[in-house]
Homo-oligomer: A and B are copies of this chain.
Amino acid sequence: MTLRIVAAPVPGLPEVEPGDDLAALIITTGAAIGSGDVVVVSQKVVSKAEGRLVRLSDVQPSPRALELARALDKEPEMVQLVLDESEAILRAERGVLITRTHHGLVCANAGVDRSNVPGDDLACLLPADPDASARAIRAALPGRPAVVIADSFGRAWRLGQADVAIGCAGLTPLDDRRGRSDHGGRALAATIDAVADQAASAAALARDKAGREAVVVVRGLDRYVTEEDGPGAVAIVRPLAEDLFR
């Protein structure tokens, strides 16, 4: 059987602190990473390295945050952070806030959360520009492998969370096969493969979810790894006007 896709965590990554050089930490592990590999980094360590941590005791909830917090039984300071990170509130019911972030990402709590963050007073925000984060890590890694910044998102219609690419560099995020043929020569129907999201999902299966394995190398996607950094994961955001799936 030919090996096709292999996803393996990079062992020995130390706890990441604000200001850390994440690429340097990855290099220090001595993990063998080749140019055709995809390095999938969990959002949490990218945010930590970039200092995207906020003290809840420094947050001043607005009247709207106080009202939402009361209705949803959430902490007003957390709700304020979610509002700050969002361009639109899509749902606010049953204790759940689903928003569209300033990046255009649709997820619970605008990606703001407190798991795997030290202390009781800190919350972690998504990176300000995850595609830029991916490009910076890529540029600093020997061989310039592709880089994906991954986070776990809930989905419409289906239970459970799947990891998706909120940032990427050097990886074709969407493989557009429209116009190509099946092996009978018939034109394939709507077929744009979500390559970066599926790479994030493959990496998620390899990761210890307690948060100790923040970096996973996915091998075998060389055909999607590009010299240019490419459009990034922002290209995956479906224009609202075209969204027939929600």
What residues of chain A have their CB less than 8 Å away from a CB belonging to chain B? Answer: 1-11, 31-32, 91, 93-94, 96, 98, 105-106, 108, 113-118, 152, 154-164, 173-175, 177, 180-184, 186-195, 197-199, 201-202, 204-206, 209-212, 216-217, 220-221, 235-238, 243-246
Contacts and interface: CB of A to CB of B under 8 A. Distances in A.
Instruction: Kindly name the residue among A1, A105, A156, A197 whose own CB sees the greatest number of chain B CB atoms within 10 A.
Output: A1
B201 A162 contact: yes
Contacts of A189: 113-115
Contact of A3 (B8, B106, B108): B8
A235 to B, nearest CB: 7
A211 to B, nearest CB: 5
A193 B155 CA distance: 11
Contact of A106 (B8, B91, B204, B245): B245
A93 B180 CA distance: 24
B6 A157 contact: no
B159 A183 contact: no
B210 A5 contact: no
A160 B7 contact: no
A192 B204 CA distance: 12
Given A5-B6, A152-B193, 14 more contacts: A2-B11, A4-B9, A91-B244, A91-B245, A98-B244, A113-B189, A114-B186, A117-B184, A156-B156, A156-B245, A157-B237, A158-B194, A198-B201, A201-B202
Contacts of A115: 182, 186-189
B209 A98 contact: no
Q: Which 3 A-B pairs rank lowest in CB-CB distance, beginning with the nearest?
A: A160-B194, A156-B156, A4-B206
Contacts of A181: 210
